[in-house]
Every structure is written in structure tokens, then in C-alpha cells.
Structure 1
Amino acid sequence: MRSQHLLIIKMMLLTCLLFISSRLFAQNELSPRQTYPDLFEKVQMARIYPDSKSFADAIPKKSPSEIMKAYNDLKSKPNYDLKAFVNEYFTMPESHHAAYQSDIGAGIKKHLDTLWTVLKRNPDTASIYQTSLLPLPKPYIVPGGRFREIYYWDSYFTMLGLQKAGKTETIKDMVDNFAFLINKYGFIPNGNRTYYLTRSQPPFFAAMVQLLAQHHKDVKLADYKDVLEKEYQFWMKGVSQLGNGKAINHVVKLPDGTILNRYYDAGDQPREESYREDFEAAKLTKQAPSTFLRNVRAAAESGWDFSSRWFADGKSYNQIMTIDLLPVDLNTLLYNLEMTIATANNEAGNKTKAILFTQKARLRKTAILKYFWNKKQGFFTDYNWKNRSSSNQLTLAAAFPLYFKLATPVQAKAVEEKLARNFLKTGGLITTLTTTKEQWDAPNAWAPLQYISIVGLRNYGYNKLADTISTRWINLNISVFKETGKMMEKYNVVQPNSKGGGGEYPLQDGFGWTNGVLLKLMEK
């Protein structure tokens, strides 16, 4: 009788869990533009909100069908007020940490420790009505400011700080969330929003799993073998169909049969989170609108949105050509993914697959050293597969082959010399040698690229330059914090008293990856 009673309780608990799970993940995955046709475009083009992302993240007060019926009934009436309609039927998102006030006097370490709580989000539950948020089953850390969701490549650098802060379980939660996204969608989207489901971001998942396995006693690489392989399939989709000199999705097959990868986006319409900006920009280019917008979206997938790195003339946004370029950092990250899959399969006892992926990694390494080493510049640069030439844009992406220990000693020395001579400024390393209004150009600097460069230099014994960069970056972060009480998304390293600028939105504070990198660099 007692065992029967326990069985009933277990069945009831299972039913409850299934109900909760269905509530969490029942929401459909239509983007706001798909959910609210015509209304979405009208709101974005009217610029009711200065930031296009606001309406893309809006929370409806009624069901989409009710909202669309009301809109279609009212829109042709003479006294129709679009802004009043939006305010009646939607709640605008707020920054979760808008009310947080930092205590400068308590010091930067206390501030960083407090921010983990401020930037942490609990597991999501589906909204009563459809929103653009893709629910995640475990807690996670957001970057901050307008970025109210998790972001793919940001999270690796955030995890570095979590590890330093002893928050290994939070790292595991975030890795498991990314594994959930891979299993559900076949890849990790740019962020957990429906409008990000057409693209990914720099593939740091393998590096995250490596970090977790290194610091969590109960985790092995083999535990994530299957999801690592699924992510790899996403980046290599269509490769079997390719002829020499052709491209499909993220894959390019060069005339000699070499396989390398590019950034790409399945969409060719204005980004919903930057709808008006993209719509207007498409009028100013000679490219076909669909080609231009795919290039814009592919640059967003790169994380470097935007940079002279992607521009045909090295300065003009309307000449963006992202999909024509094979990026050195992307291919280095995919080398690391291949090596991690090989190691995970070796751990799992699958020697055949381990050998296969080791061979894939070796082929990619050979290709990286052949196509991305620019002998003329003495630096790693991107490769234009369309015109079969090396890019002349010098950027901090060159540090990735050092970070993943792919560069030869001679190449590493040349990179070190150029970083010291051309990139090093008062507050750290500039992103590129080109000064533009774009945020991923000089005079701006970003935490992840400082970290990649510092570790890359240390890997080859260039500790003096690495220490100089680290010290200057730490001092800049502390100086800005003492002045503002904030950690910034990006910094001006040429004139440290000026804010980082450029981009499609105001300078954001928070800030996940800045906090993570600073904590990691202050470790010594």
C-alpha cells in the first residue's frame, strides 16, 4: 500500500514537471515582425522609441490576435494615434539594473562582486502572451544595459570572471543553457531572442566547455561531446554540396579544395532590433538590398558590428562585404572546436572519431597558416575568397592564432612587434588601426580582445608586453569606475578621459565581459 502511495506521488510530481516544462517552452518562435505584420514596421519607422530594440523586446498586454485585430480596426481612422496604441497594448522593457546604485567608495572589487547578483537572471518562464524572449531552463548572466538577454560570445569572457569569483555552478548553468539551445535549434543563436534565430556568434562554446571541465570536478569534455558535434554541423552545413570556388551558408571551398568558414546569416531583411537603421542604410548602397542586409547581418554574427574590417574600401559602411571574407578569428575558433571534439571523443573511447576530428583540425591549421598569414604585412589578416587576396585591414583578430597556439614562433614575434608598435595606446590595445565612427574601430577597445591578445602573447613568452597591456587596461577600468561608478561595454584607449563611442546605440554599462576580464586580469 505504501509503495503504491509513493508511486502515485511520483506520478503527480512527474505530471507537475511536465506541465512546468510545457509552460516554459510552449511559446512559439515567431519574431516580432512575423507576429505583428505591418504594425511592427510602422512602429519602427515612426521612431516612437529612440532604440529600435525597445519595441523588438516589448511585452504585449494582450494576445497577438487581439492586438492585430485592434490595430487593423483602428489604423485607418482619422484620429488614430500610433504611439498611444503601442502604449495601450505593450509594456516597454526596462533595464533590470536601472535602479542599482554603485558605491564607488567600497571599491571596484566589491562593485564587481555585487554585479553578479544585479546581472543574474533566474530560469525563464513563458509569458502569458508571446514575447521575443526564448526561455532558458537555468540561471544566466546578461551583459547589462539594453542587453537584457544572454549573448553567446560575451558569455565566455563573463565566465572567466565567474570562475575567478568561485561561481563554477553558474558557469555550468550557462553552459547547460547553451547546450539546451543547441539541442533545440541546432546552434547557439546570437542571443535568446526570436529575432536572433537566423544567426549565431563567434563559436566559443568549446572554450566554455574546456573552462568548465578544468574547474568543475564532476564535468568532463565527453559530457558535452554530442552538443559540440551538433554545433560543428551547424557551421559546416552544406559542405558536402560544395564545388571548388563556391560558398554555401557558413562554408567556403577554395579553388584548391581547402575548406574554410565565413560569417553568414540566413536572413536578408532589416534586423528587427535595428530595423529603421538597416532600412535607411540599404538606400545608401550600390549593392542589392538583400545582399547589403545579409552582409550587415553577417557582421552582426561576427560580434564586430561594425568595423572597417568588413568594408571593401576600409572606411565606408555602405561597402560592407562580410560574406566575401574568411575571418581569421572564426576559423581559429573552429580549429579549437575540432580539437575539442577530438579530445571529447578520445575521453569517451571513440578513437575513430577522435582521429577524424584531429585530422580535420590539422587540415584547418595548415589552411590558417597558408591563407591568413599576410607575408606583406607580417600579420594575420582576413582572406577575401572572392578575389583571392589577403585583406590589408590590420585588426586584433590577429591575436587569435596566438591565443590558440597556432602561430609559428616567427609569426608570433612579428605579431608582438606590430601590437607594440602600432596598437598599444595609453589605455590598452586599439581594435583596428583605422579611426571611424564604427564602434569596432580605433579609438575604441574591448575587453575580450585585450584578453585574447594578453594570453596569446603569454603563450609565446612575450610577458613584458602582455603585462604592459594588462596594467594599462586594469588602470583604465579602475579610473573610469572611480569617475562614473560604472563598468563600460567599451573604452577609448587613445584618450582615456573620453567615452568609447560609435555604434547604433548609446554606450552601455554593466558590463558582463568587461567585469569578467578585469577579474581574471587582476588574478595575479
Structure 2
Amino acid sequence: MRNSDPTLPPGAPPAAGAYTVPRTDPATPDGVGAVPGPSAAPDRVHAVASPPLVTHRECPAPHVLPGCAQSDGLSPASRYGELFVDVQHSGLFADSKTFPDCIPNCDPELIVTRYREQRATPGFSLADFVQAHFTRASVPESHYVSDPASTLHAHIESLWPVLTRKPMAHPPRSSLLPLPHRYVVPGGRFGELYYWDSYFTMLGLAGSGCGDLLLEMVQNFAYLLDTYGLVPNGTRNYYLSRSQPPVFILMVDLLEREQVARAIDFLPQLRREYAFWMDGAQGLRPGHAHRRAICLADGVVLNRYWDDRCCPREEAFLEDMQTAMYSGRPHHAVFRDLRAAAESGWDFSSRWLDTPAAAQPANLGTIRTTAMLPVDLNALLWHLETRLAELCDQAGDADAGDYRAAAQRRKEAIMQTMWDDAAGAFVDYDWCRGEPRRCLTAATVMPLFLGLAQPAQAQAVAQAIAARLLDQGGLATTELTSGQQWDHPNGWAPMQWLAVRGLARYGHDTLAREIAQRWLATVASLYTHECKLVEKYRIEPCGEHAKGGGGGEYPLQDGFGWTNAVASALMALYGDVAATCRVDVGDADSGGQPGHPLS
């Protein structure tokens, strides 16, 4: 087991007997009120069993796909109860995600019955029982053995078929959610469709002329919205209590720009996603919250990340248990904030933690994701509101005015609470403490990417990221080094793309090119020496050639969907030569007017 909390000794195990069989309490919103009050930490941590699908109260009945094997209606922890807990504590699998992804060889209820009958018998072997009743999902150590003679571009092109999955590959009675169309997975341990990863993956597919696959990907997300009322974090039933950054509108806009489909064709699903994020917002009193909606003192509603469950993540069971045990906080609150960080896609980062003192490691047990109003999330929802207004106008829908007014209110609130004039950057806002966060993160580029920033703000952001986030190998995700994988010295492909296109949109072409060249040189350096692309990279100087990033709850993954796609898209913009050079840090160039289209 990998230790996810840097304050603990390496390999420190969770306390024995610290987890009991999940009870059948319903998942509760637990978000109404100003700040959740403290509660005593329980002697034994319990899981809250999830409902069959999701807790979102407006979720429609699930569709049935003709001829397609259906997933189990209950997540693995709810379905297998004490068997799930015992397997996760047993150390049978090095990765907590392995057992939730296993495929039952017979009816799950029969498996549970047999386990209860046999576990107390002499000579019982848990390992033998699991091997007899489950098939482990195939997770190859490497998805692809590359040809060392292939160029980086050719290697990326050859990977798309390897990472593409077909609907008939869905096994019966497993945690995998069935989908009606083909899709592309990230790679490695991530063998299912993931939400925000897929937008960046689609950028690469668009450049490769895969318009049919682009459309199928978007149709899958539309199916998820129609079936479950949200796009889940990933297509596993244990992800159905949370989503990820709402980029479905960006996918739909990409289809329209590629002339594959019209954005207006997906208006019902766009409205459904907006309703998911705004659930409970109507009628909220100032200073109160409900799920993902927060009403500020002036009555304006902004949004946070959330998860409807407050138990350990099934795919990171031991890691979450360990974090809660050593946190000194109510365990349910820790679990909720860990899950909410997973909804952000930034799992994990000092962005969500109490800022540590100098030279002290960030303590994951201090995570406070639900207390933060993230600037990137709210910028995306502003963009969704703006596009909903435009699409409703096209459709002759009377709701256009309501969406337009909501977008204007959100824009004003973002400028008031999330623009830090002294820092010259957009920042997250701690709504519980009533103050902005001071640590600069790469999320500051999202308002530029979406065209929300004013030109003077874009100029200030360009100067801030050049001074505080730019490193030899690309753009850092945060300026703090904490041991968490979404902090310095790691760099991630999606943030390079958002920064490059956001800066270019406002005329900061020199800095945009600088970031692109540095990142491409990093990706090309590791590919030249190891013949692969990986999930994240170390961007500080690290020897003769680039290295993969560290930290996190699992080993570095090969593949890798969004890395491939962003590298391909940046090479299309700046040429393959950008992947073979390193350049000196340039000054943030003078500001320009917004106007470059999103790419």
C-alpha cells in the first residue's frame, strides 16, 4: 500500500479493526447551514451505503441498453459488505482500486452468502475465496510496446486504437457502467471513461481527424446525463456520487467547431448538467449551502466541489482510512473532503489543504475542499450559463434571459471574491473563513481560457505565472511543493493547454509559446529515453533527461490519454521542432484584446 499522507511514516497501516461493515443509512446532503458543526470522532469508522444509483433527487430512471451487459446497481462496498472491507484490509491487492474493479464470476448475492457461511470454517483462505469467485480486471503494466524508431507524433497516432474501448467489452455484474458507443480511456489502471480527461483527449482526436469517435464520445456523455442526471467522475458505479469539472459544454463546442454536430442538439443534456450543479440553489439563504451551491452574504450563489457520500472512496479505501485515522478530525468530514477533491480532478493538492508552515509537509488530513469556492469551477459554470443563454436564444426558449442574468451575477461575484489585485491573479475563495486563498495555482488561467478576464487582468496573470509558476519543463500546477501529485514539481498536460490557449487568446503569444515549447521538450525528452508518454511529469531540472512526476496514491501511469492529446495539439500549433528544444524564460509580453477562439 502506498502512503498517501506525507506526515505518516512510510507504510504505516491503518488501525486494526477501524472499519466496520457498511450500514444502510442513506447518503445525506450534509451541506445545509453556514459551516458544518463539529462532531465527535467515532470509535469505529462506518461507511454510508450508497443508494442504487445516485442521490441526486432529480435523477431519471436509468436507460437500458439493448444487448449490452448491465453493471451492478450497487457499488462494491454496498454490495459485498464485510467481504469488501475484509479484502481491502487484507492486503491481497497492492492497489485499492483492484477489488472494486473485479468481475464477479456468479451472482453477487450468492457470493456474499457463501462468504458468510464459509469465513469461520477451519482452514478458510480469503485469497482462495476471492480467486474462486472473482476475475481480476486486466490492467497491463504497459498498454503498448512502442517502436523506438517511431517519432513522437507517430507514436501518439498509433496509441488511439490501443486506448479505444467498445461497448461489447463491458462485463456483466461488474462496477463498470455500460455505454452505448466507443470511447477512449486514459491508460494504465484507468481502464474506464473519465470525464474531464476526455475533453483534452478529444483535442488530440480532433487533430487526428477522428470525427466519428469524437461524436461517439459526446454521445456517451449525453447518455450518462440522460441516465444518471450527471456525468460521473468515471464510468464505475462507485463514482456515481460525484462528477468532475463541467466540461461537457467544451466538448459540444468542439464538435461544432469540427463541424461534426451542432451544439444546440445537446441543449437538453446541457440544461441537465447545469441543474445538477445548481441543485438546491433555489431559495438558499445568505451564508448557507446545499450540496454544490453556496449562497454568499450578498445573496449571490457560487459553487464548490462536493460528493454525496461521506465514507472512504472504494477505489482508495486504505488510503482514505489512513488519512482519517491520523487527521484528528471527524472521519466523515475528512472522507467528504477527500471525495470532493476527487471531483475537482486535483486529487490531491495543497490547493485544498490548510497551508503548511515553511519547511513543513502538507498534511492531507487538513483537507477542506468543501470550504473552497474554486475559480476554475465557477468560470466553467459562467461559460455554461453564457452558452445556455445563446443556445436557448437559438431555440426560441424563454429561459435564455434567466441564464444570461445568472451568468452576469456569477461574473460579478467572481470579480469581487476571486480576483486578487495585489497578486495579479485569480484565486480560490475560502467561503467558510471569508478570505481568498494566497497560494497561486494554475487554475488562475481558466478565466483567460474562457474569455472571462479583462485585458488588464490577463496581463497581470501572465506576469504572475511567468514569475511564480513557470519552470524549466513547463508550467507548475501550484507554487508549493507538498508531496501531493498536483503540486510542484509536477506538471500536468491539461494545465499546459489551458495556459497556452488562455494566454494566446489575450495576445500573450510569447509566453504561450514559451510554455508550449518547454512542455513539449519535457514530453519528448522522456519519450526519447523511455519510449513512452506518462500521466504527469517532473518539470524542475532533474538530470540529463526528463522524468515522470511523483507523489499520489498509485505508481506513475503510462498511456496516457490527455498527455498524448495535448502534445499532439501543441505540436499542431507550434510545430514538431518545439518538442526538440529548450528555451530561456521570456518576459510576459504586452497585453492584447481577447478574441482568439477556444481550441
Letter in 1 for 2:349: S
Letter in 2 for 1:256: D
Matching residue of 1:364: 410
Matching residue of 1:282: 324
Letter in 1 for 2:225: I
User: Could you tell me whether the CA contact under 8 Å between 1:372 and 1:381 is conserved in 2?
Assistant: yes
Aligned partner of 2:240 among 197, 201, 205: 197
Q: In structure 1, the residue corresponding to 2:98 is in which secondary structure?
A: helix
Q: In structure 2, the residue corresponding to 1:33 is in which secondary structure?
A: helix
Deviation by residue 1:104-152 (Cα, 9 ceiling, x = unmatched): 2111111111100000001146534x10000000000000000000000
Matching residue of 2:136: 92
Q: Is 1:76–2:106 an aligned residue pair?
A: no
How far apart, CA to CA, are the structure 2 residues paired with 1:269 and 1:69? 24
Matching residue of 1:477: 523
Report how far residue 336 of structure 1 moved: 1.1
Report how far residue 214 of structure 1 moved: 1.1
Q: Is 1:220–2:262 an aligned residue pair?
A: yes
How far apart, CA to CA, are the structure 2 residues paired with 1:477 and 1:21? 40
Aligned partner of 1:154 among 194, 197, 200: 197
Deviation by residue 1:389-436 (Cα, 9 ceiling, x = unmatched): 001121000000111111112211111111111111111011101001
Counterparts of residues 127-146 of structure 1 (less than 5 Å): 127-128=171-172, 130-146=173-189
Letter in 2 for 1:470: A
Report how far residue 20 of structure 1 moved: 8.8
Letter in 2 for 1:270: P
Report how far residue 356 of structure 1 moved: 1.9
User: Could you tell me whether the CA contact under 8 Å between 1:402 and 1:459 is conserved in 2?
Assistant: yes
- Mark the CA change 1:162 to 1:281 in structure 2 (over 3 Å): closer, same or farther: same
Letter in 1 for 2:554: Y
How far apart, CA to CA, are the structure 1 residues paired with 2:78 and 2:275? 27
Counterparts of residues 430-469 of structure 1 (less than 5 Å): 430-469=476-515
User: Could you tell me whether the CA contact under 8 Å between 2:252 and 2:263 is conserved in 1?
Assistant: yes
How far apart, CA to CA, are the structure 2 residues paired with 1:44 and 1:94? 19
Matching residue of 1:500: 549
More helix by share: 1
Q: Is 1:171–2:205 an aligned residue pair?
A: no
How far apart, CA to CA, are the structure 1 residues paired with 2:355 and 2:465? 23
Letter in 2 for 1:460: Y
User: Could you tell me whether the CA contact under 8 Å between 1:23 and 1:126 is conserved in 2?
Assistant: no
Matching residue of 2:457: 411
User: Could you tell me whether the CA contact under 8 Å between 1:23 and 1:125 is conserved in 2?
Assistant: no
How far apart, CA to CA, are the structure 2 residues paired with 1:208 and 1:465? 26
How far apart, CA to CA, are the structure 2 residues paired with 1:223 and 1:97? 40
Aligned partner of 1:303 among 341, 345, 350: 345
Q: In structure 2, the residue corresponding to 1:104 is in which secondary structure?
A: coil
Aligned partner of 2:303 among 247, 261, 265: 261
Q: Is 1:396–2:396 an aligned residue pair?
A: no
How far apart, CA to CA, are the structure 2 residues paired with 1:29 and 1:296? 24
Report how far residue 355 of structure 1 moved: 2.2
Matching residue of 1:294: 336
Letter in 2 for 1:439: Q
How far apart, CA to CA, are the structure 1 residues paired with 2:572 and 2:66? 43
TM-score by length of 2: 0.82
Report how far residue 341 of structure 1 moved: 1.1
Q: Is 1:61–2:105 an aligned residue pair?
A: yes
Counterparts of residues 347-358 of structure 1 (less than 5 Å): 347-350=394-397, 352-358=398-404
How far apart, CA to CA, are the structure 2 residues paired with 1:339 and 1:104? 47
Letter in 1 for 2:541: Q
Report how far residue 335 of structure 1 moved: 0.8
Deviation by residue 1:138-196 (Cα, 9 ceiling, x = unmatched): 00000000000000000000000000000011111010000000000000000000000
Identity %: 43
Q: In structure 1, the residue corresponding to 2:302 is in which secondary structure?
A: strand
TM-score by length of 1: 0.94
User: Could you tell me whether the CA contact under 8 Å between 2:184 and 2:561 is conserved in 1?
Assistant: yes
Q: In structure 1, the residue corresponding to 2:65 is in which secondary structure?
A: helix
Matching residue of 1:336: 383
Counterparts of residues 93-132 of structure 1 (less than 5 Å): 93-95=137-139, 98=142, 100-124=144-168, 127-128=171-172, 130-132=173-175
Tell me how many residue pairs correspond in the alignment. 503
Matching residue of 1:188: 231
Report how far residue 301 of structure 1 moved: 0.3
Letter in 2 for 1:272: E
User: Could you tell me whether the CA contact under 8 Å between 1:221 and 1:343 is conserved in 2?
Assistant: no
User: Could you tell me whether the CA contact under 8 Å between 1:97 and 1:119 is conserved in 2?
Assistant: no
Deviation by residue 1:228-284 (Cα, 9 ceiling, x = unmatched): 000000000001131110011000000110110000000000000001111121111
Superposed CA RMSD in Å reads: 1.5
User: Could you tell me whether the CA contact under 8 Å between 1:104 and 1:481 is conserved in 2?
Assistant: no
Matching residue of 1:489: 535
Q: In structure 2, the residue corresponding to 1:287 is in which secondary structure?
A: coil
User: Could you tell me whether the CA contact under 8 Å between 2:232 and 2:241 is conserved in 1?
Assistant: yes
- Mark the CA change 1:97 to 1:81 in structure 2 (over 3 Å): closer, same or farther: closer
How far apart, CA to CA, are the structure 1 residues paired with 2:480 and 2:461? 17
More divergent stretch after superposition (492-501 vs 316-325): 492-501
- Structure 2: 5+ residue stretches without partners: 1-62, 357-361, 574-599
Deviation by residue 1:73-113 (Cα, 9 ceiling, x = unmatched): 21112311111211111111112684631112111111111
User: Could you tell me whether the CA contact under 8 Å between 2:144 and 2:159 is conserved in 1?
Assistant: no
